[in-house]
Amino acid sequence: MRTETSTQIATQSDELPFINKTNRPIMELEFTKIKNKETSVATISLFGELGDQEGEINGHHWAHEFNWLDRNFDNINAHINGFGGSIGMGLSVVANIMGATSFVSTINVGVAASMAGIIALLGDKPKMYDYAKLMLHSPYYADENGEKVKNLSAKDQKALKALKDILVRLLMKRGKSEEEINKILKTDTWYSAEEALAEGFIDEIIVTGRKKELAALEPMALVAKLNDEYKPKKERKMKTVIAALGLPEDSNEQAVLEAVNNLQKDGGQSPDLSQAVDKLIDLGKAKGKVTEKNEKSIRKLADTDFNLFVDFLDLEGTPTGGEGGQTRITDVLAELRGQGGTGGEGKNKEKTFAWFEQNDPDALARMEISEPEKFRKLKEADDALYK
């Protein structure tokens, strides 16, 4: 948990760009996964360190996106995995979570340390995965190398004490006394999920089936592993867009942007993309995601941001009508190009890893324990699709 004298605590007032000018505008969602539009649930992730340097998460931007979700969804799940960072940005996040009108579940999915640990405890219902770790300590000033500054002026010491007092008051909301919190913050105090629950810091432990695999990892290794697992989800979305645009698999972001710009100049979608939209709309109708009332708006979303369009439909693992067949967006695109695919005609009779992730994660967790070989084969098959 660090503080910098240049950090602004208030959230930014300038609006982030909107990507769809409909009656209900859709924000450009950098951190969010819309899980269920019908039940008004969205998941936003805080994976990494808060700050304004390259590779860090701008907490003001994150808070601004969260604020948009709060205005448009009834329930928000905030997934947290990281070592904190800027206190100023962290307080922007805290202010929006605590001031939300929606019901906010803060979920520690790996490591929530320092400022991230405080954020993880301040939702309406704080939770931890069974293998997760929580760490709390006092704030400190950091130099340009991220090292703790020991020799502080009287002014800096006073400012640091004021920040610590704010954090103590926040943590006292979990039912602890000021004396108890100050004792906890004297050093780096670590908690397992069970210990955090016993201390009253969280309300629930989420059983994952991965505790044996992950609980023994050192915090840095755990954060790195989970961040690595998180990245492919974004990469899979990009591969969907790349496939839809007919670009080589190794195309970078710049190539995708150029292809999109060319489509816009041509005034429409490529034939493959247009057919893909039609096909996915049909599947969305079958699942109830697309209705006569919202179809026009969803098609506009496809024109504006195909990635978010696919994310909104959330069709991975949806039955396609065949015997056990499951939808994969890449299969839809491949089928349209005459390249075959694994879905669409019911060829995939066994439930896939993606199906379990989407429809029955508890069964997947049980399988990992009781049928590890089957779990391993399903996961390897799933991973192979995205290599």
- DSSP-derived secondary structure letter, 173: G
HSE-CB at 344 with a 13 A cutoff on CA atoms is: 17
Active site (annotated) includes residue 79: no
Sign of CA dihedral 40, 332, 293, 32: positive
The structure tokens listed for 347 are 């060829």
50 strand-pairing partners: 57, 85
Q: Can you list the alpha helix ranges (DSSP code H) found in the chain?
A: 59-72, 87-98, 115-120, 154-171, 178-185, 193-198, 211-214, 219-244, 253-266, 271-287, 295-304, 306-313, 329-336, 353-359, 361-370, 372-384
Active-site residue, selected from the candidate residues 86, 92, 105, 114: 114
Report the C-alpha gap between 346 and 349 in whole angstroms.
Answer: 6
Cα-based distances in Å from 131 to 118, 123, 190, 204: 18, 20, 13, 13
Active site (annotated) includes residue 60: no
The structure tokens listed for 235 are 């990469």
Cα-based distances in Å from 308 to 41, 222, 303: 16, 29, 10
CB burial of 72-94 (b: ≥16 within 10 Å; e: otherwise) equals bbebbbbbbbbbbbbbbbbbbbb
Per the listing, tokens 């080589």 go with: 248
Q: Residue 67: what are its φ and ψ, rounded to 5°? A: -60, -40
Sign of CA dihedral 98, 99, 105, 111: negative
Which residues, other chains included, contact 164 with Cβ-Cβ below 8 Å and sequence gap of 6+?
138, 139, 185
- DSSP-derived secondary structure letter, 138: -
Sign of CA dihedral 42, 45, 50, 52: negative
- DSSP-derived secondary structure letter, 263: H
Active-site residue, selected from the candidate residues 137, 138, 153, 251: 137
> Which residues are known to be catalytic?
114, 137
